Structure 1
Amino acid sequence: MRTRRAPLWLKVAAAGLAAALVAGVGFVGVKLFTLRSSIVSAPLNLGTDHTALPVDRGTDPLQILLLGTDSRANTGGRYGGDPSSTGSGNSDVMMLMQLSADRERVTVVSLPRDLLTTIPACTDPATGEVYPEQQFSQLNMALSYGGPGCTVAAVNELTGLEVDHFMMADFNAVKELTTVIGGVDVCVNEPINDTYSKLVLPAGVSTVQGEQALAFLRTRHAFGDGGDRGRVRAQQSFLASMARKLTSEGTLTNVPRLYAIAEAVARNLTVDEGLAQIPSLLALADRVKSVDLGKVAFVSLPTTLYEPDPNRLVMKDEEGQRLFQILREDGDVTAESGGGKGTAGGRPAATSEADGDEDGSTGGEAGGAVDEAAGPGTADAGTASGTADDAEEPAFDAAAQPVQVLNESGTGERAQDVAAHLRSLGYDQAVPAPAEGTSPATQILYAEGFEEVARALAAQLGVPEPSVLSGGTQDGVAVVVGQDFTSGTKLADTSGLAGGLSGQTADQVTCQQSGGF
């Protein structure tokens, strides 16, 4: 029997395809080699008593320490010449990220730069010098004791966890990453013109990238009271917005786009030796690509002022250890109430972190506990009625509280509707007020002395904790109805954080309040 010969065109096509595949593999190989040669690595843990066990990046929970250094190296003097920012600089952004073993959750805990803690003895890998243990040392200084591995050792000491990897980015990494992904949407309630960080934004939603993205993350003065709390909230909001963008555009499942991101940051990224291979970095993207945004949680470490020096912070031990216990159990900080192993539900509430300024000073955020003796929001014979289920009855006269309702939803007569609903709950002075523009998120803003009223209203309307902000109104409370609240009398539920933890999830859109710098 004669063998049928393949037509010439098919042979040519097959040869061409084979050549293209070989060329493509070679191209990818060259690109991966180029990327690998750009990545700087450093030892994972410089602690002298380090005894890490091996971790399986595919099946174990992973702890990854994210660091942002303020080093001015390779910036050409563009950001000033702070003597403390030579060499590795200080780690002004510190976030501990846990990837759950079941690939269903990501928890990111923000650690304030002014936190006083124990920095264990560390050995500098370059010089062999041993830095002795430091008691009550500022956490962000650990970077100067030999590099990021000493910060890893300090975080292990603080949390009782074992950090598996670290990633340290510099100023250029932030600029290049935000540029390659096409920017990140951020929201501010008032125009921002911060002469310190050079952040300039109009009121409302803006897309920032490059220098403006870096300024948004670095600013010490633009948000809240100009301290650590406002900055941490802004960073959490920024990362939540970035997560929404990457998810909506399918970036985490798009290998060419992932490569572009890796290429953008590799030149400015320092990682531990276990992440120095590009496939290892891409494997992390595979771990998080299918996580629901409601299970991506950004949590603030519960802290309080350090009494001998109110410019510094210390962890609230009970609340902080409760948070770390959840992480040690590979638990869920977004779990509903009801308790159970590894959940935040059913536990005493952890309170928000105290305010600490990024340059070492501590500001007092406007608002606080209402004076029970006199002033707005004071106790009276009458109390607010119709409070949320299981909420404590507030100690103020609801009928006497000035409440303005602004419609920034872009829909109908929402200010009138919500004000009428609040009057039915006993807030007799709730009235609609003029509003300009639109806001993506519903917020409750309060003047000094009205925090308790604001939080009671938040419970009534289902407004999440990150959207209850000091400032933005001269008197009383302002309820800003956003585009997420176009109907009904209670905001559609988002997962949020359980157990009284402070922070937000990636599915929550939040705006920043100007600090009046």
Structure 2
Amino acid sequence: MRHGSIPGGRNAPYDPHEPGWDDSPYGNGHGQPYIPQQPTPHPTVPQQPQRGGYRPEEPQRGGYPPQEPYAPYQPADYDATGYDTGGYGDDGHRADYGAYEDDGGDGASTGTLTATQGDGADDDGHDGSGRRGNRRRKKGKRRALRWVAIVTSVAILGSAGAAYAYYQHLNANIKKDALNLGDSQAAKSKANAAGQTPLNILLLGSDSRASKANQKLGGAKADADRKPLADVQMLLHVSADRSNMTVVSIPRDTRVTIPKCTDPDDGQVYPETTSETINTSLQHGGPGCTVATWEKLTDISIDHFMMIDFAGVVSMADAVGGVPVCVKGNVWDKKSGLKLTKGDHVIKGKQALQWLRTRHGFEDGSDIGRTHAQHMYMNAMVRQLKSSAKLNDPGKLTGLAEAATKALTVDTGLGTVKKLYDLGNDLKGVPTDRITMTTMPWGADPQNPTAHVVPTSAATKLFTLLRNDQAVDGKAAKKKKAATATATAKASPKGEIAVTVQNGTGSTSVPATPGRAGTVTEKLKTLGFTQAESDSTPQSQSGSTITYASDDEQADALAVAKALKLPTGAVKKSSSAEGITLVIGADWTAGSTYPAASSSDTKEVLDSASALNASDDSACMKVNPYNSW
């Protein structure tokens, strides 16, 4: 899969091999100016000293000669991050950014990512000094830019960031890929009575080591040529009226059906598989196959994806001045490098990356605990972003935008700074106390119970709530009437409508509920649809659907849906349909008519999904006693 930047912009592209320049963006703080830019710095004098700060009109501290004043309307040197890559430990090994061994021994990952870690790494992560631009933007635009930061801050695996400004040259930084590489797609969400539609964004964290920066941050340089995994995946669902937001994490060890995917760049076809975990879907052609996998699993149409690498979290955490976190005891995860004392901390730079990658140090040492730590971090960042005055500084916004867009890969429909700006502006009204972080309810995989997990019935209910655009926090402002189907054209007499009924309640891990097709077929006949027939062809769907082939069958299909109390969104036109076909999904395992969502369903989802509200600032991570000190 090609992940190169889309050509564009009027500045010359960054060339790490340009003679006479430091090719390490995290090296000694010299940075890498674009060409042309400010004059080439003296080869022995740091462009921006690590200590004392940059003062454009005064002599620099530490005996350095004065620098030229910063010209705010010239192309800026955004790569001068000021990061120290760390020293050497007593054992002589390089102490890079929290070198981490993501051990594949549990069967969850393909390959083992190894690296060494010394003792010389700086715990602060960032001792540099950035430039401040003097441009000012209108207050409303700053708020929208801040909301772009908020929505993308939930994509974490050592990953965070997005476009925070709308400068045209930033578009060239953004990498783009196809949205869906599968051979089928879920039906698009239907608009509500006000013409509003829900928004579903898949947030991915790639463990790619393809760049030098990501190798330093993630370790395992030997894996630079390995196809990346998506160890963190989160579905962000925003309600049609933008009153609430639900974020669903899925454990990386979840065994799923990865559908057939085709790489659009080289034409390679990856056949469907039921034996792999969801994090490997990224290796089946790119993020578009991960999108296809989620749609297959949830039957929820995904509008966009955002994928971010390791480098983004460092810039993001520093840009907001650090993110507050809490641990219930001393924690030392030697795999990630995270070492904290009991209590509250503000983490930034590489320490933030260590927090987000820590698995062994939290809770039971599994990936589940890591997702909970990520939720805590993301909620804290949302609160920080909404209250921070730092992002009102256009200079900081500009520097962050440059770093973030370089780390960001999005679908082609979201591939400009303007579109990211519009997205942030669209989401700025979601209240903090209506943002809910959840983990997909899971159980041990019968095929490999010690290594993999599979979705439970509560997961099916969670996906149904999202598919029907129902809030999972139980705080819906007004009780809405059930959105049952209504025919828009005159339907045929019931006795003349032929309906094929199939049982799709099973999956690769859960057997089908027996007799479902027969039960619903008999119900249809008692309702007057005497030509209804059951079909024993095995199917597998999370959500129930009624499909029809041609426009003249739409009214008949809607009549069937209304009779069975199915929501309008379940009725879909399909070129592969043969007449009107009802597939009973995993969301309808009992009863002869479609069940309406109940408060007990919401409670079950909240109880089993480890829900955490973004307004909760009292959350504190439980420490694994085997990784304490």
| TM-score normalized with structure 2 length | 0.50
Aligned partners of 1:64 and 1:164 also within 8 Å = yes
SS of equivalent to 2:621: coil
Structure 2 residue aligned with 1:193: 332
Structure 2 residue aligned with 1:502: 610
Instruction: Decide whether aligned partners of structure 1 residues 253 and 501 sit closer, same or farther in structure 2, where only a CA change above 3 A counts.
Output: farther
Structure 2 residue aligned with 1:178: 317
2:254 is matched with which residue: 106, 115, 130? 115
Q: What's the CA shift for 1:228?
A: 1.5
Instruction: Decide whether aligned partners of structure 1 residues 264 and 55 sit closer, same or farther in structure 2, where only a CA change above 3 A counts.
Output: farther
Q: What's the CA shift for 1:42?
A: 0.4
Structure 1 residue aligned with 2:96: none
> Which whole-Å CA distance do the structure 2 matches of 1:311 and 1:263 have between them?
43
Structure 2 residue aligned with 1:307: 446
* AA matched with 1:215: Q
Instruction: Decide whether aligned partners of structure 1 residues 115 and 497 sit closer, same or farther in structure 2, where only a CA change above 3 A counts.
Output: closer
1:37 is matched with which residue: 167, 172, 178? 172
> What are the equivalent positions in structure 2 for 1:333-348 lying under 5 Å apart?
333-335=472-474
Are 1:127 and 2:266 an aligned pair? yes
Structure 1 residue aligned with 2:210: 73
Instruction: Decide whether aligned partners of structure 1 residues 321 and 339 sit closer, same or farther in structure 2, where only a CA change above 3 A counts.
Output: farther
Are 1:229 and 2:229 an aligned pair? no
Structure 1 residue aligned with 2:181: 46
> Which whole-Å CA distance do the structure 2 matches of 1:342 and 1:497 have between them?
21
Aligned partners of 1:123 and 1:129 also within 8 Å = yes
Aligned partners of 1:68 and 1:93 also within 8 Å = yes
> Which whole-Å CA distance do the structure 2 matches of 1:118 and 1:496 have between them?
25
Structure 1 residue aligned with 2:463: 324
SS of equivalent to 1:98: strand
Structure 1 residue aligned with 2:48: none
Instruction: Decide whether aligned partners of structure 1 residues 100 and 31 sit closer, same or farther in structure 2, where only a CA change above 3 A counts.
Output: closer
Are 1:511 and 2:620 an aligned pair? yes
Structure 1 residue aligned with 2:56: none
Instruction: Decide whether aligned partners of structure 1 residues 74 and 142 sit closer, same or farther in structure 2, where only a CA change above 3 A counts.
Output: same
Instruction: Decide whether aligned partners of structure 1 residues 251 and 45 sit closer, same or farther in structure 2, where only a CA change above 3 A counts.
Output: farther
Instruction: Decide whether aligned partners of structure 1 residues 204 and 290 sit closer, same or farther in structure 2, where only a CA change above 3 A counts.
Output: same
> Which whole-Å CA distance do the structure 2 matches of 1:336 and 1:267 have between them?
38
Are 1:102 and 2:210 an aligned pair? no
SS of equivalent to 1:167: strand
Q: What's the CA shift for 1:39?
A: 0.6
2:302 is matched with which residue: 163, 166, 186? 163
Aligned partners of 2:324 and 2:345 also within 8 Å = yes
Structure 1 residue aligned with 2:347: 208
Deviations 1:206-232 (A, max 9, x none): 111111111100112110011022111
CA RMSD of aligned residues (A): 3.3
Q: What's the CA shift for 1:499?
A: 5.9
Structure 2 residue aligned with 1:141: 280
Aligned partners of 1:178 and 1:184 also within 8 Å = yes
Instruction: Decide whether aligned partners of structure 1 residues 140 and 503 sit closer, same or farther in structure 2, where only a CA change above 3 A counts.
Output: same
Q: What's the CA shift for 1:500?
A: 5.1
Q: What's the CA shift for 1:290?
A: 2.3
Structure 1 gaps of 5+ residues are 1-22, 344-494
> Which whole-Å CA distance do the structure 2 matches of 1:162 and 1:51 have between them?
5
Q: What's the CA shift for 1:138?
A: 0.4
* AA matched with 2:178: P
Deviations 1:345-378 (A, max 9, x none): xxxxxxxxxxxxxxxxxxxxxxxxxxxxxxxxxx
Aligned partners of 2:295 and 2:302 also within 8 Å = yes
* AA matched with 1:152: V
Q: What's the CA shift for 1:183?
A: 1.2
**Identity percentage of aligned residues:** 37
Shifted more, 252-261 versus 292-301: the winner is: 252-261
The structure 1 segments of at least 4 consecutive aligned residues displaced by more than 6 Å after TM superposition are 82-85, 250-257, 337-343
Structure 2 gaps of 5+ residues are 1-134, 138-162, 483-602
* AA matched with 2:184: D
Are 1:90 and 2:229 an aligned pair? yes
Aligned partners of 1:331 and 1:341 also within 8 Å = no
Are 1:150 and 2:150 an aligned pair? no
Aligned length: 340
Aligned partners of 1:71 and 1:90 also within 8 Å = yes
> Which whole-Å CA distance do the structure 1 matches of 2:228 and 2:474 have between them?
38
Instruction: Decide whether aligned partners of structure 1 residues 196 and 273 sit closer, same or farther in structure 2, where only a CA change above 3 A counts.
Output: same
Q: Larger strand proportion, structure 1 or 2?
A: 1
Aligned partners of 2:166 and 2:421 also within 8 Å = no
Instruction: Decide whether aligned partners of structure 1 residues 308 and 87 sit closer, same or farther in structure 2, where only a CA change above 3 A counts.
Output: closer
Aligned partners of 1:294 and 1:496 also within 8 Å = no
> What are the equivalent positions in structure 2 for 1:240-389 lying under 5 Å apart?
240-249=379-388, 260-335=399-474
Q: What's the CA shift for 1:192?
A: 2.1
SS of equivalent to 1:310: coil
Q: What's the CA shift for 1:496?
A: 13
Aligned partners of 2:196 and 2:240 also within 8 Å = yes
Structure 2 residue aligned with 1:63: 200
* AA matched with 2:301: E
Q: What's the CA shift for 1:86?
A: 3.8
| TM-score normalized with structure 1 length | 0.60
* AA matched with 1:125: P
* AA matched with 1:75: K
Aligned partners of 2:189 and 2:198 also within 8 Å = no
SS of equivalent to 1:91: coil
Aligned partners of 1:335 and 1:497 also within 8 Å = no
Aligned partners of 1:152 and 1:166 also within 8 Å = yes
Q: What's the CA shift for 1:193?
A: 2.2
